[in-house]
Amino acid sequence: MRFNRHGVWAIYHFELARFRRTLWQSLMTPVITTSLYFIVFGAAIGSRMSEVNGVPYGAFIVPGLIMLSLFTESIFNASFGIHFPKFTGTIYELLSAPVSPAEIVLAYVGAAATKSVMIGSVILLTANFFVPVQILHPFWMLAFLVLTAVTFSLFGFIIGIWAKGFEQLQVIPMLIVTPLTFLGGAFYSIDMLPPAWRSFSLFNPIVYLISGFRWSFYGESDVGIGISLLATLGFFGLCLLVVGWIFKTGYRLKN
Protein backbone atom coordinates (compact mmCIF):
# COMPACT_ATOMS: atom_id res chain seq x y z
CA MET A 1 0.00 0.00 0.00
CA ARG A 2 1.39 3.39 -0.99
CA PHE A 3 2.12 5.96 1.67
CA ASN A 4 -0.64 8.57 1.55
CA ARG A 5 1.44 11.66 2.24
CA HIS A 6 -1.39 14.00 1.22
CA GLY A 7 -3.73 12.44 3.78
CA VAL A 8 -1.09 12.57 6.52
CA TRP A 9 -0.25 16.17 5.68
CA ALA A 10 -3.94 17.17 5.69
CA ILE A 11 -4.50 15.79 9.21
CA TYR A 12 -1.15 17.15 10.45
CA HIS A 13 -1.82 20.59 8.98
CA PHE A 14 -5.35 20.67 10.43
CA GLU A 15 -4.06 19.89 13.94
CA LEU A 16 -1.32 22.52 13.71
CA ALA A 17 -3.85 25.08 12.44
CA ARG A 18 -5.78 24.63 15.68
CA PHE A 19 -2.55 25.32 17.57
CA ARG A 20 -1.84 28.44 15.50
CA ARG A 21 -5.29 29.86 16.26
CA THR A 22 -4.33 29.95 19.95
CA LEU A 23 -0.61 30.53 19.40
CA TRP A 24 -0.33 33.50 21.75
CA GLN A 25 -2.02 31.72 24.66
CA SER A 26 -0.16 28.47 23.92
CA LEU A 27 3.25 30.13 24.06
CA MET A 28 2.60 32.66 26.80
CA THR A 29 1.29 30.07 29.26
CA PRO A 30 4.60 28.15 29.55
CA VAL A 31 6.54 31.43 29.70
CA ILE A 32 4.45 32.69 32.63
CA THR A 33 4.43 29.30 34.36
CA THR A 34 8.20 28.88 33.99
CA SER A 35 8.81 32.38 35.32
CA LEU A 36 6.62 31.66 38.36
CA TYR A 37 8.46 28.42 39.05
CA PHE A 38 11.80 30.22 39.04
CA ILE A 39 10.47 33.05 41.21
CA VAL A 40 8.88 30.69 43.76
CA PHE A 41 11.42 27.87 43.79
CA GLY A 42 14.36 30.21 43.33
CA ALA A 43 13.33 32.38 46.26
CA ALA A 44 11.99 29.67 48.58
CA ILE A 45 14.40 26.81 47.92
CA GLY A 46 17.28 28.22 45.89
CA SER A 47 18.27 30.58 48.69
CA ARG A 48 18.62 27.60 51.06
CA MET A 49 20.07 25.05 48.62
CA SER A 50 22.66 26.61 46.34
CA GLU A 51 23.73 23.48 44.45
CA VAL A 52 22.59 19.93 43.69
CA ASN A 53 25.35 17.54 42.59
CA GLY A 54 27.52 20.53 41.73
CA VAL A 55 24.82 22.20 39.60
CA PRO A 56 23.20 25.50 40.73
CA TYR A 57 19.69 24.73 41.93
CA GLY A 58 18.02 27.11 39.48
CA ALA A 59 19.75 25.41 36.57
CA PHE A 60 19.16 21.96 38.06
CA ILE A 61 15.36 22.25 37.84
CA VAL A 62 15.32 23.35 34.17
CA PRO A 63 15.21 19.80 32.70
CA GLY A 64 12.47 18.89 35.19
CA LEU A 65 10.41 21.94 34.21
CA ILE A 66 10.73 21.07 30.52
CA MET A 67 9.75 17.44 31.14
CA LEU A 68 6.77 18.45 33.28
CA SER A 69 5.38 20.61 30.48
CA LEU A 70 6.32 18.06 27.82
CA PHE A 71 4.36 15.29 29.55
CA THR A 72 1.21 17.34 30.06
CA GLU A 73 1.24 19.11 26.69
CA SER A 74 1.92 15.93 24.70
CA ILE A 75 -0.89 14.06 26.43
CA PHE A 76 -3.37 16.93 26.15
CA ASN A 77 -2.66 17.75 22.49
CA ALA A 78 -2.84 14.15 21.30
CA SER A 79 -5.81 13.11 23.44
CA PHE A 80 -7.91 16.13 22.49
CA GLY A 81 -6.91 15.82 18.82
CA ILE A 82 -8.28 12.28 18.44
CA HIS A 83 -11.13 12.57 20.97
CA PHE A 84 -12.76 15.56 19.27
CA PRO A 85 -13.55 13.59 16.06
CA LYS A 86 -15.01 10.84 18.28
CA PHE A 87 -17.17 13.42 20.05
CA THR A 88 -18.46 14.97 16.81
CA GLY A 89 -18.82 11.65 14.98
CA THR A 90 -16.37 12.58 12.20
CA ILE A 91 -14.09 9.73 13.32
CA TYR A 92 -16.06 7.42 10.99
CA GLU A 93 -15.21 9.57 7.99
CA LEU A 94 -11.57 9.36 9.00
CA LEU A 95 -11.67 5.58 9.42
CA SER A 96 -13.34 5.14 6.02
CA ALA A 97 -10.89 7.46 4.23
CA PRO A 98 -7.99 6.00 2.21
CA VAL A 99 -5.63 6.56 5.16
CA SER A 100 -4.10 3.61 7.01
CA PRO A 101 -4.08 3.36 10.83
CA ALA A 102 -0.32 3.95 10.81
CA GLU A 103 -0.80 7.13 8.78
CA ILE A 104 -3.54 8.35 11.14
CA VAL A 105 -1.29 7.80 14.15
CA LEU A 106 1.65 9.42 12.39
CA ALA A 107 -0.36 12.55 11.62
CA TYR A 108 -2.01 13.03 15.02
CA VAL A 109 1.01 12.03 17.10
CA GLY A 110 3.37 13.98 14.85
CA ALA A 111 1.30 17.15 15.24
CA ALA A 112 1.01 16.75 19.02
CA ALA A 113 4.75 16.06 19.37
CA THR A 114 5.58 19.09 17.20
CA LYS A 115 3.56 21.38 19.45
CA SER A 116 5.13 19.89 22.58
CA VAL A 117 8.69 20.27 21.28
CA MET A 118 7.94 23.90 20.39
CA ILE A 119 6.65 24.59 23.89
CA GLY A 120 9.63 22.77 25.42
CA SER A 121 11.96 24.97 23.37
CA VAL A 122 10.13 28.09 24.59
CA ILE A 123 10.58 26.95 28.20
CA LEU A 124 14.29 26.34 27.61
CA LEU A 125 14.65 29.80 26.09
CA THR A 126 12.74 31.38 28.97
CA ALA A 127 14.93 29.59 31.53
CA ASN A 128 18.03 31.19 30.06
CA PHE A 129 16.74 34.59 31.20
CA PHE A 130 16.81 33.39 34.82
CA VAL A 131 19.77 31.00 35.06
CA PRO A 132 22.76 30.01 32.90
CA VAL A 133 21.77 26.72 31.26
CA GLN A 134 24.52 24.41 30.02
CA ILE A 135 23.89 21.59 27.55
CA LEU A 136 26.82 19.16 27.53
CA HIS A 137 25.22 16.68 25.12
CA PRO A 138 22.99 18.62 22.68
CA PHE A 139 22.37 15.60 20.45
CA TRP A 140 21.09 13.49 23.35
CA MET A 141 19.12 16.43 24.71
CA LEU A 142 17.27 16.76 21.41
CA ALA A 143 16.87 12.98 21.13
CA PHE A 144 15.34 12.69 24.61
CA LEU A 145 13.15 15.73 23.93
CA VAL A 146 11.71 14.36 20.70
CA LEU A 147 11.46 10.75 21.91
CA THR A 148 9.64 11.79 25.10
CA ALA A 149 7.28 14.07 23.15
CA VAL A 150 6.43 11.30 20.68
CA THR A 151 6.04 8.68 23.42
CA PHE A 152 3.67 10.75 25.54
CA SER A 153 1.79 11.88 22.45
CA LEU A 154 1.18 8.18 21.73
CA PHE A 155 0.07 7.78 25.33
CA GLY A 156 -2.26 10.75 24.92
CA PHE A 157 -3.62 9.25 21.69
CA ILE A 158 -4.53 6.12 23.66
CA ILE A 159 -6.21 8.20 26.38
CA GLY A 160 -8.18 10.13 23.75
CA ILE A 161 -9.61 6.91 22.33
CA TRP A 162 -10.23 5.39 25.77
CA ALA A 163 -12.01 8.43 27.23
CA LYS A 164 -15.80 8.48 27.01
CA GLY A 165 -16.01 12.22 27.67
CA PHE A 166 -13.87 15.32 27.90
CA GLU A 167 -13.79 14.99 31.69
CA GLN A 168 -11.96 11.66 31.45
CA LEU A 169 -9.21 13.25 29.33
CA GLN A 170 -7.94 14.94 32.51
CA VAL A 171 -8.13 11.95 34.85
CA ILE A 172 -4.84 10.19 34.03
CA PRO A 173 -2.73 13.36 33.46
CA MET A 174 -3.92 15.04 36.68
CA LEU A 175 -4.19 12.04 39.01
CA ILE A 176 -1.28 9.92 37.76
CA VAL A 177 1.21 11.65 35.45
CA THR A 178 1.55 15.00 37.27
CA PRO A 179 2.00 13.47 40.76
CA LEU A 180 4.52 10.95 39.40
CA THR A 181 6.43 13.84 37.78
CA PHE A 182 6.64 15.81 41.02
CA LEU A 183 7.75 12.62 42.83
CA GLY A 184 10.14 11.70 40.00
CA GLY A 185 12.98 14.10 40.75
CA ALA A 186 11.81 17.03 38.67
CA PHE A 187 12.82 19.51 41.40
CA TYR A 188 15.28 17.43 43.43
CA SER A 189 17.72 14.55 43.15
CA ILE A 190 16.45 11.24 44.48
CA ASP A 191 19.94 10.80 45.98
CA MET A 192 18.82 13.38 48.56
CA LEU A 193 16.11 11.03 49.82
CA PRO A 194 16.49 8.47 52.62
CA PRO A 195 17.53 5.00 51.31
CA ALA A 196 14.03 3.52 51.68
CA TRP A 197 12.36 6.38 49.77
CA ARG A 198 15.08 6.34 47.13
CA SER A 199 14.47 2.62 46.51
CA PHE A 200 10.73 3.32 46.32
CA SER A 201 11.32 6.14 43.81
CA LEU A 202 13.08 3.75 41.45
CA PHE A 203 9.69 2.15 40.77
CA ASN A 204 8.51 5.47 39.34
CA PRO A 205 9.06 5.35 35.53
CA ILE A 206 9.17 9.15 35.34
CA VAL A 207 12.46 9.09 37.30
CA TYR A 208 14.24 7.46 34.38
CA LEU A 209 12.95 9.94 31.80
CA ILE A 210 13.84 13.02 33.83
CA SER A 211 17.19 11.57 34.88
CA GLY A 212 18.25 10.83 31.32
CA PHE A 213 17.15 14.25 30.13
CA ARG A 214 19.04 15.98 32.97
CA TRP A 215 22.16 13.97 32.11
CA SER A 216 22.13 15.47 28.60
CA PHE A 217 22.38 18.92 30.22
CA TYR A 218 24.88 18.47 33.04
CA GLY A 219 26.30 14.95 32.79
CA GLU A 220 24.67 14.13 36.15
CA SER A 221 21.88 11.60 36.61
CA ASP A 222 20.18 9.62 39.35
CA VAL A 223 20.25 6.42 37.28
CA GLY A 224 22.43 5.22 34.41
CA ILE A 225 21.88 6.89 31.06
CA GLY A 226 21.54 3.49 29.37
CA ILE A 227 18.75 2.48 31.75
CA SER A 228 16.99 5.82 31.17
CA LEU A 229 17.11 5.35 27.40
CA LEU A 230 15.88 1.75 27.63
CA ALA A 231 13.01 2.81 29.91
CA THR A 232 11.94 5.52 27.47
CA LEU A 233 12.16 3.18 24.48
CA GLY A 234 10.29 0.50 26.45
CA PHE A 235 7.38 2.85 27.18
CA PHE A 236 7.40 3.96 23.52
CA GLY A 237 7.22 0.33 22.36
CA LEU A 238 4.42 -0.46 24.81
CA CYS A 239 2.36 2.49 23.55
CA LEU A 240 2.88 1.34 19.96
CA LEU A 241 1.63 -2.15 20.86
CA VAL A 242 -1.48 -0.73 22.55
CA VAL A 243 -2.25 1.56 19.58
CA GLY A 244 -1.82 -1.40 17.21
CA TRP A 245 -4.24 -3.46 19.33
CA ILE A 246 -6.78 -0.61 19.35
CA PHE A 247 -6.90 -0.40 15.56
CA LYS A 248 -6.88 -4.18 15.18
CA THR A 249 -9.85 -4.68 17.49
CA GLY A 250 -11.61 -1.35 16.88
CA TYR A 251 -11.71 -0.69 20.62
CA ARG A 252 -13.95 2.37 21.19
CA LEU A 253 -13.48 3.35 17.56
CA LYS A 254 -16.07 1.30 15.71
CA ASN A 255 -18.68 0.93 18.44
Q: What is the pLDDT of residues 184-234, one digit of tens each?
A: 988 889 988 888 889 899 999 999 999 999 999 999 889 999 999 999 999
User: Which residue(s) pair with 52 in the sheet?
Assistant: 55
- Where do the structural domains in the chain lie, given as residue ranges? 5-249
pLDDT at 55 over 70: yes
pLDDT band at 255; cut points 50, 70, 90: low
> Global pTM?
0.93
pLDDT in tens, 76-115: 999 999 999 998 888 888 888 889 999 999 999 999 999 9
Which is it for the CA torsion 156, 161, 163, 166, positive or negative? positive
pLDDT at 51 over 90: no
**Model pLDDT, residue 21:** 81
pLDDT band at 1; cut points 50, 70, 90: low
